[in-house]
Chain A
Amino acid sequence: MSKYNIQEFESNFDTAFVDFFNQKGYKQSYFVDNIRFLFGFGCVIPAAIAFGLEQLHDFSKLKEHLLSLLLVYFAFSGLLTWWISFVKGNRIYTGTSPDQKISIDAETTLPLKPNPHLDLTIRVKRNKKTVPIAHKLSISVADIFDEEGQISQDAFSKQISSFYKSYIENE
């Protein structure tokens, strides 16, 4: 891995973060990703129908249904764009604790700067009726990645474990 690659740093951190919580017994929720796939299929299906109509019949047959297919395509495409931009955003993990009492929602951003800091925001919800509380952590990439560009498990575990104990386990 290239040592100074922001995208790879963020991707490796996200993977390590997901593994950390899954090892703690948290159950990961794929709801946001599943809805994104549904919207994606909603875009592909009208395109496939249009292609099929033109292949099996001719363009005049397709033309009869083109407006409705286009409207369906653009509707799903708009929903997909909204979902990715505003609902998924920078979210990397949504999960529930083994005892079902705590649910967390994590986002990361890693802007390119001379000394980039990975900004982690975790929203913790203690039970279903409470408002989630956001906790933020900013880590320099030099503190958790090694000279070869790989994530240093010791440094990563130290940072995330202390954050977990302070804001999630013991609050």
Chain B
Amino acid sequence: MNYLEGKIDFNGQIRCAKYMNYGILMSGVGAYIAGWFAQDSYLSIIVFFILAAVVGIICIPAWPMYNRKPLQFQKAKK
């Protein structure tokens, strides 16, 4: 259930933002190169969407790798 709720620790948030930024950038570059070699702009768009979907799968769910450094908060009062 945690995968859908999206709760990740602060270190995970920083890493996730970094993966997303670099991932989308490289998706754009990769899509451009693929389209250039194939001389097909439609292929470029398709490749971008596929690579962006891969980035989305890596970044959107709250994977356990984003919860490796939890902080020790105060004890909650009952």
A99 at the interface (CB under 8 A from B): no
Whether the pair B71, A141 counts as a contact (CB closer than 8 A) is yes
A83 at the interface (CB under 8 A from B): no
Number of interface residues of A (CB under 8 A): 23
Whether the pair B8, A112 counts as a contact (CB closer than 8 A) is no
Whether the pair B7, A4 counts as a contact (CB closer than 8 A) is yes
Give chain B's interface residue range (CB within 8 Å of chain A): 10 to 19
Given A4-B13, A114-B14, answer yes or no on A146-B8 (Cβ-Cβ < 8 Å).
no
Q: Summarize B's interface: helix, strand, loop or mixed.
A: loop
Whether the pair B9, A147 counts as a contact (CB closer than 8 A) is no
Q: How far is the CA of A142 from the CA of B7 in the complex (A)?
A: 16
Q: Mark A143-155, 1 if CB is under 8 A from B, else 0.
A: 1111111101011
CB within 8 Å of B: which A118-171 residues = 140-150, 152, 154-155
Whether the pair A145, B14 counts as a contact (CB closer than 8 A) is no
CB within 8 Å of A: which B45-78 residues = 69, 71-77
A55 at the interface (CB under 8 A from B): no
User: Nearest-CB distance from A118 to chain B (Å)?
Assistant: 13
B11 at the interface (CB under 8 A from A): yes
Whether the pair A146, B74 counts as a contact (CB closer than 8 A) is yes
Given known contacts A6-B10, A141-B71, what 6 new A-B pairs fall within 8 Å (CB)?
A: A112-B14, A116-B10, A146-B73, A146-B76, A146-B77, A152-B76
Q: A: which residues have CB within 8 A of B?
A: 2-4, 6, 112-116, 140-150, 152, 154-155
